[in-house]
């Protein structure tokens, strides 16, 4: 270990250069991880926040189930009659609105039954009330865009006027802030055409899906049988994330970038230490001639690699965190401490794995090199 530190000090320029590369790789992996988590939250945080275990879509729905599939009241009622099951209709649609003060916003309207387990309540103001079907509870992200409790929000093109009664969370769906309305109001938004004045009773009693709370021991066979009875396709809540627009594509893209970075890290670290090992082969041969064991030489090499990789990874993690603080809420970036620690741990491990490429040459160095046996 003492010799390893001496070499680090003597060749600090080379090790600083290598450490800088590790810093950049670790920082880039951390930043990509932050964007991966942030984009995921910005796409499905409203779904992730649902206190549901499963979601039942219309049978035959494939991609974008929330936008393309519809289930009716009978389906929701039928699921509610299943043993140990809680079911409530759920509507999801993207729309636009304008407040009475002229603030234009995009929003994802989530239709929920007031008081049901999908109703988020309100952190400020009042929750949804079946007696006031024209109320709307908005995400605090809409508050950041200028929507206030007490405002009147008019849904564009449809002329549907809603009263902002409360705020809740910072949930989003498809990168659009969420607003919660009653299922009757959601059906007006979903099925009303511009210029029409249809009342809720005249609109189809249909919804995007049925949110379910099922017991943990619900088996696949029981779910399949219930799906056949109700004409639905039931998936877990996590699987329902794929129904959000762009979720799968974004995760695949960001995960691919991370994977390539994890491949680059060991190659870069391994290449550096391979060259470093070749350059100091005479010194290693001298140590072997003086009686140093192979185990000691391997420990010496691993100690140097561990110090460089650990210091570079820690600095890269600090840099990634600083980027997160810098961008703030301007972009979808989220890097919790647990995610950062797991990411940096993976970077350090793959970096040390790259060092393994040089260990064979260190272990097989020939003391006779000093006597010119190589010539």
DSSP letter at 2?
A: H
> Please, is 91 exposed, middle or buried when counting C-beta atoms within 10 Å of its C-beta (0-12, 13-18, 19+)?
buried
pLDDT for 190 beyond 70: yes
Q: What is the mean pLDDT of the chain?
A: 85
The pLDDT of residue 249 is 85
DSSP letter at 132?
A: B
DSSP-based three-state secondary structure for 64: coil
The pLDDT of residue 65 is 74
The pLDDT of residue 225 is 93
pLDDT for 2 beyond 60: no
In this prediction the pTM is 0.80
pLDDT for 353 beyond 90: no
Q: 37-51, 192-206, 296-310: which has the highest mean pLDDT?
A: 37-51
The pLDDT of residue 371 is 54
The predicted model gives 48-58 an average pLDDT of: 93
CB distance 136 to 180 below 8 Å: yes
pLDDT for 166 beyond 60: yes
| Least confident piece of the model among 89-103, 281-295, 348-362 | 281-295
The predicted model gives 56-82 an average pLDDT of: 84
CB distance 135 to 128 below 8 Å: yes
Report the run of H or E that residue 181 belongs to, with start and end. Answer: strand 176-182
pLDDT for 7 beyond 70: no
pLDDT band at 302 (very low <50, low <70, confident <90, very high): confident
CB distance 166 to 129 below 8 Å: no
Higher-pLDDT residue of 64, 74? 74
The pLDDT of residue 292 is 66
The pLDDT of residue 365 is 65
Report the run of H or E that residue 366 belongs to, with start and end. Answer: none
The pLDDT of residue 63 is 56
């Amino acid at each position: 270990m003492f010799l390893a530190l001496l070499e680090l000090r003597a060749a600090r320029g080379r090790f600083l250069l290598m450490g800088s590369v590790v810093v950049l790789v670790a920082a880039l992996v951390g930043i990509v991880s932050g964007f991966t988590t942030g984009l995921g939250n910005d796409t499905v945080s409203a779904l992730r926040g649902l206190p549901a275990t499963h979601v039942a879509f219309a049978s035959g729905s494939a991609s974008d189930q929330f936008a393309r599939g519809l289930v009716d009241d009978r389906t929701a009622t039928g699921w509610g009659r299943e043993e140990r099951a809680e079911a409530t209709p759920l509507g999801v649609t993207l729309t636009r609105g304008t407040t009475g003060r002229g603030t234009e916003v995009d929003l994802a309207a989530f239709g929920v039954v007031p008081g049901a387990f999908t109703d988020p309540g309100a952190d400020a103001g009042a929750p949804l009330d079946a007696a006031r079907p024209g109320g709307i509870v908005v995400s605090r992200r809409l508050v950041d865009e200028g929507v206030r409790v007490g405002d009147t929000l008019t849904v564009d093109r449809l002329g549907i006027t809603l009263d902002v009664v409360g705020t809740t969370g910072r949930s989003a769906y498809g990168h659009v802030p969420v607003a919660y309305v009653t299922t009757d109001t959601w059906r007006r938004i979903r099925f009303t055409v511009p210029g029409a004045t249809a009342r809720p009773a005249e609109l189809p009693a249909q919804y995007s899906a049925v949110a379910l709370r099922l017991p943990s021991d619900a088996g696949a066979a029981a779910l399949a049988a219930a799906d056949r009875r109700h004409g639905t396709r039931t998936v877990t809540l996590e699987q329902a994330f794929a129904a959000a627009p762009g979720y799968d594509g974004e995760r695949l893209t960001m995960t691919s970038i991370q994977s390539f970075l994890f491949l680059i890290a060991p190659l870069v670290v391994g290449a550096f230490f391979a060259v470093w090992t070749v350059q100091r082969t005479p010194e290693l041969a001298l140590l072997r001639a003086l009686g140093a064991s192979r185990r000691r030489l391997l420990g010496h090499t691993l100690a140097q690699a561990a110090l460089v990789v650990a210091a570079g990874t820690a600095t890269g993690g600090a840099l990634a965190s600083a980027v997160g603080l810098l961008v703030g809420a301007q972009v979808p970036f989220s890097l919790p401490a647990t995610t950062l620690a797991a990411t940096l741990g993976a970077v350090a491990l793959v970096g040390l794995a790259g060092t393994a490429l040089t260990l064979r040459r260190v272990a097989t160095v020939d003391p006779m090199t000093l006597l010119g046996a190589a010539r």
